[in-house]
Amino acid sequence: MRGSYAGGEAIAMNATIGIDVGGTFTDFALRDGNGVERTHKTLTTHYDLSVGFMKGMRRLAEHSGMDLAEFLGRLGSIRYSTTIGTNALIERRGPKLGLITTAGFEDTIHIGRGRSWADGSSPEAIADIARIRKPPPLVAPEMVVGLRERIDYAGKVLSPLTREEIIEKLQVLVDRGAQGFAVCLLWSFVNPTHERMVKRVIEEEYPEDYLGSMPVMLSSDVSPKAGEYARMATTMVNAYIHGIMADDLNRLGSELADAGFTKPLTLVHNTGGTKKASRTRAVLTHNAGPVAGLYAARALGRVIGSPNVIFTDMGGTSFDIGLATAGEIHTYDFIPVLDRWRSNIPAVEVKSIGAGGGSIAWVNALMSNALEVGPQSAGSMPGPACYDQGGSEPTVTDADLVLGYYNPDNYLGGSLLLDADLSRQAVEDKIARPLRVDVHEAAHRIRRLVDARMGQEVFNEVGLKGHDPRTFTLLACGGAGAAHACGFAAYVGVSRVVVPDASSVFGAYGAALMETREVWERSRAIRIFQWAGQRYSTDCDAFNSVVRDLRDRAARDLRLEGYRDDQMTFTLDLDMRFGSQYTLTKIRAPKLEVASADDFRRLCDLFVQRYSELYSPESTFLAGGVNIECFSLTASVPRDVHLPPPQPLGDAEPRADARRGARPAYWSPAEGMRDTPVYDLAALLPGNRIAGPALIEGAQTTYVIEPGWRYEMDGFRNGVLTRA
């Protein structure tokens, strides 16, 4: 990616900008059809995310030599990966909700599951069994009512619902202060008639022209899948964050419109695509930034000839891990957790742990003064101690600064000055003194601990999914990825590490590349291999009717986005399992519809093959029967993504003006501080090679090339790290 922080070259009309809001920084990546690419980072303004958003937009306009109105007028799309909903959920800022369910099941959400207390909790919290608790309910017990109705598993109405009862129970919730409703009735994902009746009555009693108009979320719309608790929790969370997201996004949209942007805002989804904000379910924005980064990793892997890619992103707050295999993304989160609530949204799997530049190092007195790093983070305010914003806790960034890896006068291109004395004091007081070591060794231990933790998590994510890490290329992204790539790669066993040119804003870059997409799901149990007769099913209509209905709904939705039928593509994924088994395994169907028992045989073969890869061939048991439990239809409008062509490789030796001298850096307790050459990333050319130890300073990141490693810039200006 070229042009980071560069100005002068005008951007073409209909340029795309991706924006990723992180816990510490908000990232921006701009692309146009002429190959102009620019990036920027601002501190995340948690008190009002739009402040950091607009600050970054103004800065990019300046880089492009335009005022804000002219710049926004040239943009064809703003793709926003937002944490508004996640923050509202964590901070419990949602409205007072009313939950309407089937009579006799009013306590479902409060009873939860046997391990509801563990969902979304850190390993440290889970280990503290004496004090851990279930999450505080988003809906108070008195705000739950039950309706006397019943639909069975096949969708047959056993007990009809009456309008009079709906009005009666509705009035109870309104009198108690309900500001919105979540509706989750039994088996509504098979037959949504009763849920739709509830919504119709609410809208008739409290129409939009009344001040008391209230949003209504139906589980049959938000989460039409089996699993009563997860379906109810998903619907409840969506209703809880919907209003806050709508208000904040409407305000941001108005601010953009006043500044000159006349098109609708587009949101990034955790399903791996984007859609207009007005047509987005709130829960689908959760963890969207890391998913966007994974899609950028897949695109880059295809370009550099690495179909198997491990995506990692070490930002200020978290460390994200995702996989692309054979040039595609096949991993989906079986049970996504939204804060502390188990859901069943169709999310791409990207694992996150609390390990970033802002992760706080601390000494655990209860564990014989063991050193710990994270999961607590200093965030953007106050941030690491070196930010000089009031933070006093030592972080990974502070440790790196103490070790001499960062230039305090050239952090983020000089836009954020660091105070090395504050870092040294924090590490000295909170870590070195309790451990009775010098400050450099304390900082070195912090770094090695966080590297080991990240490396082990990466290895687990690859190995436990049935893959050999040695066949993968590791992509080290995020603002701190280049600084720690050599450290955590050693624990993974990969042959090479690639740090993309846009690594520090890779989530935003991925957002700019993504296509319009949404996933439509429905639970429907179909036995395609009968264990009793040991034969394959021939009931094609049961399968095809579900697919056709999903495809019709998806096509209608994309038409409302403004797309034609000939622009749409559809793919089908199936959640399958052996008979009576709990665990589901997702496969990609070779075609949308089936026509014979041979088609069902092919689906079973694909399922057994994937199951063997995950759990070993010895664990398969076809004779026990094979069931389809859920259909997932992905509807998308592909985009032509034109990445800049590679530049020719030049000399291995960097030019003289690329060298910035040297500064002391700490590489091991045996040799202490050692003068280390420093290079200017912007002055390096494709083909240049640098042997470690060395430091390479860029506008948005710093490469830390450890002893025994070698850096080489490829034709795309990516940094390729290999063991010397």
Which two tokens mark 336? 């996504």
On average, the pLDDT of the chain sits at 89
| Average pLDDT, integer, range 284-298 | 91
Look at 78-92, 494-508, 548-562 and tell me which has the smallest mean pLDDT.
Answer: 78-92
Residues 492-521 as b or e (16 or more Cβ within 10 Å = b): bbbeebbbbbbbbbbbbbbbbbbebbbbbb
The larger pLDDT score, comparing residue 724 to residue 669, is at: 669
- pLDDT value of residue 380: 67
Catalogue all structural domains in the chain, each as residue range(s) with its CATH number: 15-87+247-285 (3.30.420.40), 94-245 (3.40.50), 359-443 (no CATH), 516-637 (3.30.1490)
Query: How many whole angstroms separate alpha carbon 609 and alpha carbon 630?
Result: 19
| Average pLDDT, integer, range 247-267 | 89
Residue 6 has pLDDT above 50, yes or no: no
Q: Do you find a cis peptide bond into 375, omega within 30 degrees of 0?
A: yes
Would you list the DSSP string of 492-512? TT-S-EEE-TTGGGHHHHHHH
- pLDDT value of residue 599: 95
Query: How many whole angstroms separate alpha carbon 439 and alpha carbon 446?
Result: 11
Which residues partner with 102 through β-bridges?
A: 147
CB 577 within 8 A of CB 614: no
Question: Which of 181, 167, 194 minimizes the C-alpha distance to 235?
Answer: 181
Contacts of residue 327, Cβ cutoff 8 Å, sequence gap at least 6: 298, 301, 302, 307
Query: How many whole angstroms separate alpha carbon 268 and alpha carbon 284?
Result: 8
- pLDDT value of residue 2: 44
- pLDDT value of residue 236: 94
Question: Which of 689, 688, 660, 685 minimizes the C-alpha distance to 675?
Answer: 660
pLDDT confidence of 210, banded at 50, 70, 90? low
pLDDT confidence of 696, banded at 50, 70, 90? very high
Cα separations in angstroms, 248 against 49, 245, 259, 498: 9, 5, 17, 37
CB 483 within 8 A of CB 400: yes
Backbone torsion region of residue 52, taken as left when φ is above 0, otherwise alpha when ψ lies between -120 and 50, otherwise beta:
alpha
- For the chain, give the percent of residues with pLDDT over 70: 97
Residue 213 has pLDDT above 80, yes or no: no
Would you list the DSSP string of 505-546? GHHHHHHHHPPEEEEEEEEEEEEEEETTTTEE---HHHHHHH
Helix H or strand E segment including 551 = helix 540-560
Residue 1 has pLDDT above 60, yes or no: no
Cα separations in angstroms, 463 against 155, 308, 332, 354, 470: 42, 13, 16, 21, 10
- pLDDT value of residue 86: 80
CB 414 within 8 A of CB 407: no
Name the CA radius of gyration of the chain, rounded: 27
- pLDDT value of residue 417: 85
Residue that is written with structure tokens 């335009």 in the block: 66
Which two tokens mark 110? 């409060």
Residue that is written with structure tokens 């003068």 in the block: 675
| Average pLDDT, integer, range 652-669 | 93
- pLDDT value of residue 378: 81
Residue 245 three-state SS: helix
Residue 491 has pLDDT above 80, yes or no: yes
Its pTM stands at 0.88
The larger pLDDT score, comparing residue 49 to residue 192, is at: 192
Residue 688 three-state SS: coil
Pairing state between β 497-499 and 719-723: antiparallel
Look at 57-71, 146-160, 535-549 and tell me which has the smallest mean pLDDT.
Answer: 57-71
pLDDT confidence of 211, banded at 50, 70, 90? low
DSSP 618: G
Query: How many whole angstroms separate alpha carbon 170 and alpha carbon 202?
Result: 8
Which two tokens mark 481? 């990825």
DSSP 14: T
pLDDT tens column, 20-53: 988 778 889 888 876 667 888 888 887 888 888 9
Question: What order do you get walking across the sheet with 351-353 strand by strand?
Answer: 351-353, 319-324, 309-314, 473-477, 497-499, 719-723, 709-713, 689-691
- pLDDT value of residue 287: 87
Look at 35-44, 198-207, 292-301, 508-517 and tell me which has the smallest mean pLDDT.
Answer: 35-44
The larger pLDDT score, comparing residue 613 to residue 484, is at: 484
pLDDT confidence of 342, banded at 50, 70, 90? confident
CB 376 within 8 A of CB 387: no
pLDDT tens column, 525-583: 999 998 888 999 999 999 999 999 999 999 998 998 888 999 999 999 999 999 888 88
* Angle (deg, nearest 10), helices 228-259 and 84-91: 120
Residue 720 has pLDDT above 80, yes or no: yes
pLDDT tens column, 380-434: 678 888 988 888 899 999 999 999 999 998 887 777 788 899 999 999 999 999 9
Residue that is written with structure tokens 């953009």 in the block: 256
| Average pLDDT, integer, range 700-713 | 93
Residue 5 has pLDDT above 60, yes or no: no
Cα separations in angstroms, 197 against 105, 161, 236: 19, 8, 19
